[in-house]
Amino acid sequence: MRWILPGQLDAAVAGWFGRFPAVMDSREDAYLVHPLLRGLSVKIRAGRLLEVKRYHGSPGILDAEGRARGRIECWRKWSFPFGPLGPGDAGPPGWTVVHKRRRMSRFRLCGGRLVADAAERAAGPECGVEVTEVRSGGESWWSLGFEATGPADLLRNTLEGTAALMFAQAPPGDAELDMGRCQSYAEWLSRHRVTAAIHPRQDEESLARRIQDQVGRMTSGGYLRTEITSGREYHG
């Protein structure tokens, strides 16, 4: 689950998030925005990892005591090693680069309760929460996202428990974390970056078919490293 809002990250929001231990990182991700692949999100993560996500529906709405409201979504993710792009290379036409500077905290399920930690992702049930400064196309945005991982039967409880801890203190008043702002990066890019009606070329349609065929083969069996995650929710 993710909210994306226009403008620079306010110091008050960073301070609100800073109640919990966090680590910071920066990277550039390239998203495939054209041709449109319904139900799929494709990106090159930090120039070195190709990630493909398939949407598996929404199990419902998260409402954090009126302080945040968003749609939980279920995704499955596959990750593949990818040769690095050249400096400043955004890839072929149809890809858009997004610059991210993230503060990340993780809430791990330990002894039946969620404990905040800033360590790397572990194998057990946990929920990552990030507040991210975003730049794309010369514009500044910021995002608050939740992504739970672990056994499928614990995903929703882990997500909702983490949200309850985060929103126990109300976020700054101008942070509009509502349904209208709740969206994935791919959905946001399709709304704000691809503003003109573009007819796909034959090679773009061919690329779309190849990616969809490849995902179809991946879903029929194991393929390299498979991750089932939950966040906006990545709920396998």
Q: Which residues contact 132 (CB under 8 A, 6 or more apart)?
A: 9, 100, 101, 102, 103, 142, 143, 144, 145
- What local confidence, expressed as pLDDT, does residue 224 receive? 33
Number of domains forming the structure of the chain: 1
The per-residue pLDDT of the chain, averaged, comes to 81
Residue 159 maps to a domain: yes
Lowest mean pLDDT among 6-10, 19-23, 65-69, 82-86: 82-86
- What local confidence, expressed as pLDDT, does residue 235 receive? 46
The model's pTM is 0.81
Query: Residue 205: pLDDT above 80?
Result: no
Residue 124 maps to a domain: yes
Residue 64 maps to a domain: yes
* Of residues 219, 176, 177, the one with CA closest to residue 54: 219
- What local confidence, expressed as pLDDT, does residue 206 receive? 56
Count of alpha carbons within 13 angstroms of residue 214, beta-carbon side: 18
Residue 235 maps to a domain: no
Residue 236 maps to a domain: no
Amino acid at 39: G
- Domain that residue 96 falls in: 2-230
Asked if 208 and 37 count as a contact pair (C-beta separation under 8 A), the reply is yes
Task: Locate all alpha helices (DSSP H) within the chain, ordered by sequence.
Answer: 11-17, 155-166, 185-192, 202-219
Mean pLDDT of 112-128: 84
Q: Both tokens of residue 86?
A: 């050249």
* Of residues 230, 145, 224, 186, the one with CA closest to residue 29: 186
Residue 214 maps to a domain: yes
- What local confidence, expressed as pLDDT, does residue 112 receive? 84
Asked if 167 and 64 count as a contact pair (C-beta separation under 8 A), the reply is yes
- pLDDT per position as a tens digit, 140-191: 999 999 999 888 889 999 999 999 999 999 999 889 999 999 999 988 998 8
Query: Residue 3: pLDDT above 80?
Result: yes
Q: What is the CATH number of the domain that holds 100?
A: 2.40.320
